[in-house]
Amino acid sequence: MVTLELYNQNTIKSQWCPGCGDFAVIKSLKEALVSLEVHPKDLVITAGIGCSGRAFAYLNGYSFHGVHGRALPLSTGIKLANEALKVLVLGGDGDGYAIGMGHFPHAIRRNLDLTYVVMNNQTYGLTKGQVSPTSDLGYRTTTTPAGNIEGAIDPMAIAMSSGITFLARGFSGNPKHLTKLFERAIAHKGFSLVDVLSPCVTYNRVNTYDWYREHSYYLDEELGYDPTDRKQAWDMLLHSEKIPLGVIFQGNRPSYEDLRPTNSREPIALQTLQGIDYAAVMEEFF
C-alpha cells in the first residue's frame, strides 16, 4: 500500500527557510502521489539547481538531481527509456525559465508524459536574492539595485503557444487546492505544467503570501470555466487583471511515446540485449 509514511522514507531534513512556500509543494505532492497510489519505486524525481531543486531529497522515490537548467532533458531520457515510470520534474523559475528555457518549449511540444512543477518565487533564492525572469519590472535586487529594467516573461503563454496539454497554476498558500492540481497533472497523459506561486520569505519582500492572495483568484469549473476551451484559456491568460489559479487548459494529443515508431512497447531499458541476430543488418554493407 502507498502511504504518506512510505513517502517520508529515504528523505533528509529540509534545508529551506522556515515559512518557505516550497514546503507546501512537497506536502501536496506527497498527498497527490499517495492518493494516486504511485509507488516510490516507480517514481523518478528529477530536479534542477536552486532552492526548489533540493526538493528531490525530501520525498521518497528514485531521483536524479542534475545540472542547472537541464531537468527536462534528463527527464526526457529517463521517461523514454522506461515509459512505465512516473517522472516528476521539480525546479524553480530561474532553473526552468532562465538557464533552462531553451528546453521548455521543446519538452512541451514533444508532449512526453512528464509532470513539471515549477516553484515560482520570482527571485533567485539559493544565490541570495538576484533578479529572476519572472521578477516584475522595477523589482529591486542585488543585481538590480535601481530596479528591474527587463520585463517579466509569461511562462504560461509560452507553454500554451508550445502546445501544452495540461497547464495549471497553484499557490503555496492553499495546499489543498495544490494537491488537487497535482493529482490531475500527474494523472494527465502528456506533458503537464503546474507553475506554483511559492513565496520566498527571505529575499522577496514584494511577492509575499498576502501579495499573492490579493493579486490572484480561482478559476471555478463548477461555475462554468471550461479548461478544454483553448480560446477561453488564452483569454484568461491574456486578459485577466489578477493571476488565475487552477487548471487553465487541458487538451489532448498523442504523446511522443505514443508516436515513437517501434515494434514493441516493452520498456526500452529493461529489454534483453542478448542473443539478437544482426547478420541481416550487416548484409546492407555488401
Q: Which residues would be at the binding site for another protein (CB under 8 A)?
A: 10, 12, 39-42, 44, 46, 56-57, 60-67, 69-70, 72-82, 84-85, 102-103, 106, 260-264, 266-271, 273-274, 276-279, 281-282, 285-286
Q: Which residues contact 283 (CB under 8 A, 6 or more apart)?
A: none
End-to-end CA distance of the chain: 57
DSSP state for residue 57 in the 8-state scheme: G
User: Phi/psi class of residue 111: alpha, beta or left (left: φ > 0; alpha: ψ in -120 to 50)?
Assistant: left
Separation of alpha carbons 154 and 244, rounded Å: 13
Shortest distance in whole angstroms from residue 271 CB to another protein = 6
Shortest distance in whole angstroms from residue 27 CB to another protein = 19
Shortest distance in whole angstroms from residue 233 CB to another protein = 25
Shortest distance in whole angstroms from residue 279 CB to another protein = 6
Closer CB to another protein, residue 176 or residue 272? 272
Closer CB to another protein, residue 71 or residue 193? 71
Separation of alpha carbons 251 and 228, rounded Å: 6
Closer CB to another protein, residue 30 or residue 184? 30
Closer CB to another protein, residue 9 or residue 228? 9
- 154 contacts 166 by C-beta, under 8 angstroms: no
Shortest distance in whole angstroms from residue 60 CB to another protein = 7
* SS3 assignment for 102-161: CCHHHHHHHCCCCEEEEEECCCECCCCCECCCCCCCCCCCCCCCCCCCCCCCCHHHHHHH
Closer CB to another protein, residue 25 or residue 178? 25
Separation of alpha carbons 164 and 162, rounded Å: 6
Closer CB to another protein, residue 105 or residue 208? 105
Shortest distance in whole angstroms from residue 267 CB to another protein = 8
